Structure 1
């Protein structure tokens, strides 16, 4: 299937799509958002907080979402034109959108040896860049799309086609521009509680301080033996994914004779340790069907 032949516009495909973008400026203002909601039929929410950037979440049918994206792109172009009204013949800068996408889907978007992202660039004429680093306190990456509005709209359609065909793997920690490390820790502790309820096992996570310094440290905790397989995954795939997403080093100790638990040691910055703890707990809770409680 070619990049442009996405099939997303076929009426029989009743797909609900959610797209998250980092936005600021006039597009996030109430009147503009209200107009886009009404004319696109998409549900649009803006994250709360005092940060300059907000997360704009667009949900609806694929057509409704693309109508909203189109209106946002043309609004941004209009704002750029207003800013350069006295520029004479000087060409306007390109319109730029920053999508927020789970890191586990970015591999499909890039493709083997960068083939997919190259195809999208060439077929749409838009520039597409996937950030190398995770957005703070999250497992999501920024995907920057820039160009003229028509190119951006085509590009977003193709990106959406890829992410619809490649759902996110494991747990996703969504990016919040105003999220503090304390809130991330709260999120992690809530996920641990959920894991304990589902598995019927106590999971002894060592509590973390709120030190956001980049210095490396280690935390050790105990996990029941019957949860270890879920965390490691087939041929180590899940633990490798957790290491990559969190940036932490994770070591699982050998099983001791007569012990029903294994030592797990996480080494890294406080934030990477928090993310690793969250992901381990979230994945084990999500995969609880493979847990067999001890008699």
Structure 2
């Protein structure tokens, strides 16, 4: 159907765009070899519905020409929103089916994984009725999404310098995996171009491209295979989706094997890339069952801070580090206060579940950035000229 929707030299898709004033993107290069392609439609709700209807009309015409029979409409929706489309005891979906005279089904939860959190809602009926069903489903999805965004707002305070969408994107409340991973917004204007959490650049912003962070994550030896995946497929996905560089250290031949129960993973990338890469590793560990029952995966993350700032992070009599542990729920280990630093940078060990270690990393980075002493050492983000917002829990990017 893709060829028919695009039309000769793009004529059909251009016509749809002009008539409906909605932007239509056909992801024909994604999922090479798969039987289906996704189409993303951007615009106000009414224009999107009109564009969707026109696409269905083209598909129906093509199906008639090739004797393919009836066509159906498939909508991708994030797993977290599906419950509200179905409704209590199936009430919502039944009501939509009755009002639009369509048959609507939802794909199984078994089809989702940490790389694709979307379920497929399939509607069958006449084009007119499928279009009405799409309007109601999209409206319900949008409303549920906006409610979630408001509910998430307080949590964004925990992660200074991170865009709220980046938070939601990887907190399992993210919307539209296609939108999240390829830097395209599920709705226009919701996610800044380029997908960097600090894409403001300019004199006041920490230019996203320069703000590279290096962290080290320790994973159990027996989890290395799962993280790498068959012929390196899983780790390649993590790198592609997060935009971070991810390297697993080889086994140290000089040490006895029983002494090496962990391997070090080096992650280099922007704050947002760090967030995504670490999230995907934690998720994979959880999926592979490296934890008992409903416990969260607890891993050790190491980050480097300028040695002259260690005292500041520890605080008077250790009060800052105690407060950090209380607020974030992670264990934070620093060298003893008063110990003479051997190098320019000191390692901070943070142990805990994903959200706890993320919160601790962000807070420590904010303390380092706030300080009057310019950070030194390798791959340190350049210090913004005046950026109080980093510590106040807001990102330095333009508000939409």
TM-score, scaled to structure 2: 0.44
Q: Following TM superposition, by how much is the alpha carbon of 1:68 offset from its aligned partner in structure 2, in angstroms?
A: 0.6
The match for 1:54 is 37
CA distance in 2 between partners of 1:99 and 1:32 (Å): 21
CA distance in 1 between partners of 2:89 and 2:122 (Å): 19
The match for 1:114 is 90
Alignment check: 8 A CA contact 2:75 2:122 kept: yes
CA shift in 2, pair 1:195/1:157, >3 Å = same
CA distance in 2 between partners of 1:184 and 1:197 (Å): 10
Deviations 1:63-113 (A, max 9, x none): 2111111111222222222223xxxxxxx8432121111122112111112
CA shift in 2, pair 1:146/1:226, >3 Å = farther
Alignment check: 8 A CA contact 1:40 1:64 kept: yes
Alignment check: 8 A CA contact 2:2 2:28 kept: no
CA distance in 2 between partners of 1:76 and 1:68 (Å): 12
CA distance in 1 between partners of 2:358 and 2:333 (Å): 23
The match for 2:122 is 144
CA distance in 1 between partners of 2:55 and 2:176 (Å): 22
Uncovered stretches (5+) of structure 2, i.e. residues with no partner: 149-167, 183-232, 246-266, 292-296, 303-322, 335-347, 372-400
Number of corresponding residues: 218
Q: Following TM superposition, by how much is the alpha carbon of 1:263 offset from its aligned partner in structure 2, in angstroms?
A: 3.4
Uncovered stretches (5+) of structure 1, i.e. residues with no partner: 1-22, 85-91, 231-251, 265-276
Residue 241 of structure 2 is aligned with which of 181, 187, 194?
187
Q: How does 1:157-172 map to 2 (within 5 A)?
A: 157-167=135-145, 169=148, 170-171=168-169, 172=174
Deviations 1:9-28 (A, max 9, x none): xxxxxxxxxxxxxx745224
The match for 1:12 is none
Query: Greater strand share, 1 or 2?
Result: 1
Alignment check: 8 A CA contact 1:206 1:220 kept: no
- Aligned residues: CA RMSD: 4.6
Q: Secondary structure at the match of 1:99?
A: strand
CA distance in 2 between partners of 1:293 and 1:115 (Å): 50
Larger radius of gyration: 2
Q: Secondary structure at the match of 1:54?
A: coil
Q: Does 1:97 align with 2:186?
A: no
The match for 1:263 is 352
Alignment check: 8 A CA contact 2:238 2:277 kept: no
CA distance in 1 between partners of 2:98 and 2:18 (Å): 33
Deviations 1:148-193 (A, max 9, x none): 10110110010011012111752227445xx964234432464974
